[in-house]
């Protein structure tokens, strides 16, 4: 998925020899540990639902919490490249695909919560509801685009599309993040609760702004050679 689905070949797959943290991150136990950490929010929500610890309205809690985690994981995916470049942590590249797929996983769980708790898995009602409410339409559009990215996040898809076309396709993740933020904004607008929205907006703006700055700096550097 966009920045999340790259294979980590070449220099990204081989950490600098003098970087001890890179060598630590390349330890075989680290990736399974990250996988477990990514599952912890889902495990906690599942436990809370079974143990009846999600408050007076567990359905609403699950719906909001899964949406929050989907947006958080999208931000984490966007943060991988800046951290890799600025801290020279090339080993982070091997986590991008997994983190991207976990972002998609939480989006799917969020959609399932909406389909179950709000709509009772009534497919005709869901289809009719999507165009009626803008925040549902925007969220569903993000889900469709992320499904495309998840489906093409594997090595066979990269080979079939070619590296450049695959990279262009997976830049759609930036649009998905914007749609996710807009979906979140409209959900909170009904209660005039914009504090958390503002935090996500700043984080996303910084992560996307860094990419623009880095691209401009790289072009200037190549032009002066």
- For the stretch 122-171, pLDDT in tens is 999 999 999 999 999 999 999 999 999 999 999 899 899 998 999 999 99
Residue 5 above 60 pLDDT?
no
Chain segment 11-35, per-residue pLDDT in tens: 444 444 437 888 888 889 999 999 9
* pLDDT, position 199: 95
* pLDDT, position 220: 85
Residue 8 above 50 pLDDT?
no
Residue 9 above 80 pLDDT?
no
What average pLDDT does range 49-73 have in this prediction? Answer: 95
Q: Cα(51)–Cα(45) distance, rounded to whole angstroms? A: 10
- Domain extents for the chain? 2-223
Question: Which DSSP letter does residue 91 get?
Answer: G
* pLDDT, position 93: 87
Task: Answer yes or no: are the C-beta atoms of 64 and 113 closer than 8 Å.
Answer: no
Residue predicted with more confidence, 187 or 11: 187
Mean pLDDT across the chain: 89
The residue written with tokens 């935090």 in the block is 199
What average pLDDT does range 66-91 have in this prediction? Answer: 94
* pLDDT, position 148: 96
Chain segment 85-132, per-residue pLDDT in tens: 998 888 888 889 999 999 999 999 999 999 999 999 999 999 999 999
Residue 6 above 90 pLDDT?
no
Q: Where are the alpha helices (DSSP H) in the chain?
A: 20-25, 30-50, 58-86, 96-113, 123-129, 134-151, 155-161, 163-170, 172-189, 195-223
Chain segment 170-185, per-residue pLDDT in tens: 999 999 999 999 999 9
Q: What's the number of CA atoms in the CB half-sphere (13 Å) around residue 169?
A: 21
Chain segment 189-223, per-residue pLDDT in tens: 877 778 899 999 999 999 999 999 999 998 888 88
The band of 1, judged by pLDDT with boundaries at 50, 70 and 90, is: low
């Amino acid at each position: 998925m966009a920045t999340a689905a790259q294979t980590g070949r070449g220099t990204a797959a081989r950490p600098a020899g003098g970087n001890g943290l890179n060598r630590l991150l390349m330890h075989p136990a680290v990736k399974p540990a990250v996988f477990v950490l990514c599952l912890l929010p889902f495990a906690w929500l599942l436990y809370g639902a079974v143990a009846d610890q999600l408050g007076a309205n567990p359905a609403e809690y699950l719906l909001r919490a899964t949406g929050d985690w989907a947006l958080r994981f999208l931000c984490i995916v966007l943060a991988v490249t800046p951290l890799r470049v600025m801290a020279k942590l090339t080993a982070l590249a091997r986590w991008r695909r997994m983190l991207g797929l976990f972002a998609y996983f939480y989006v799917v769980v969020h959609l399932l919560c909406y389909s179950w708790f709000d709509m009772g898995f009534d497919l005709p009602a869901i289809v009719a509801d999507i165009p009626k409410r803008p925040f549902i339409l925007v969220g569903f559009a993000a889900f469709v685009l992320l499904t495309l990215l998840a489906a093409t996040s594997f090595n066979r898809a990269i080979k079939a599309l070619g590296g450049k076309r695959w990279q262009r396709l997976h830049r759609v993740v930036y649009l998905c993040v914007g749609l996710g933020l807009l979906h979140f904004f409209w959900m909170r607008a009904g209660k005039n609760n914009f504090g958390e929205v503002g935090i996500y907006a700043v984080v996303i703006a910084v992560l996307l702004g860094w990419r623009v700055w880095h691209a401009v700096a790289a072009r200037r550097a190549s032009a002066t050679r």
